[in-house]
Amino acid sequence: MQAIVETVFDVVYLITVITLGIRMVQKSKGQTQFRLFGYMAIVLGAGDSFHLVPRALALCTTGLENFTTALGAGKWITSVTMTVFYVLLYHVWRQRYQVKGRQSLTAAVYALAGIRIVLCMMPQNDWLSASAPLSWGIYRNIPFALLGALVVILFYNSAKEHQDSAFRYMWLTIVLSFAFYIPVVLFADAMPLIGMLMIPKTCAYVWTVVIGYRAMQKECA
């Protein structure tokens, strides 16, 4: 039952975010913010597919324990693409609210993203092992969480300042995604059921993409 439910959920999720992303790129009508949002959704779906597709295959065939290398490599790739996702979301914020200058802020975003990616590349992560160390899971997620918190603050303040009803909950989708993700990082190995939090975390990301898509439909009509 888990294999069927989880596989169907993952397939629907991947098709949804990638399809919406492609449609946003195609229908952005020259508006950079929505074209970037489309690329962001495609990166999200494509990156997650490297982990979710092997996981679905494992659940539907011989089990997760026989796909350790593929699942580890998928998590590795996803960790990098999720970082790119937040960098693109930062640039969506700059485009939507016509932010000029603030080079120090951009430098901070790229510094946090760069540190995160470097940490993800360190061999100590032991991505391809069945017993990857928790400590490095924490290390690499510290700059990631800081990057997410920065983007939350930016969207919350700007949506409020500009009375942007279309993006008024963008900050909340990011908060929810991290709220569901962090317990998985910390406790999933000891308590596998905690891993179920990845489902609402994924729903939060779908909400993020839907916010951008609906805004494009309204503003590019």
Q: What is the pLDDT of residue 10?
A: 92
pLDDT in tens, 53-96: 998 888 888 887 888 899 999 999 999 999 999 999 999 999 99
Domain ranges of the chain: 2-219
HSE on the CB side for 148, CA within 13 Å? 19
Candidate ranges 5-14, 149-158, 189-198; pick with highest mean pLDDT? 149-158
Torsion of CA 62, 63, 67, 73, to 10 degrees: 140
Per-residue pLDDT at 156: 97
- pTM of the model as a whole: 0.94
> pLDDT at position 3, please?
77
61, two tokens: 């065939």
The CATH code belonging to domain 2-219 is: 1.20.1070.10
The pLDDT of 38-56, averaged and rounded, is: 94
Q: pLDDT of 143-165, one tens digit each?
A: 999 999 999 999 999 999 999 99
99's CB contacts (< 8 A; 6+ apart) are 93
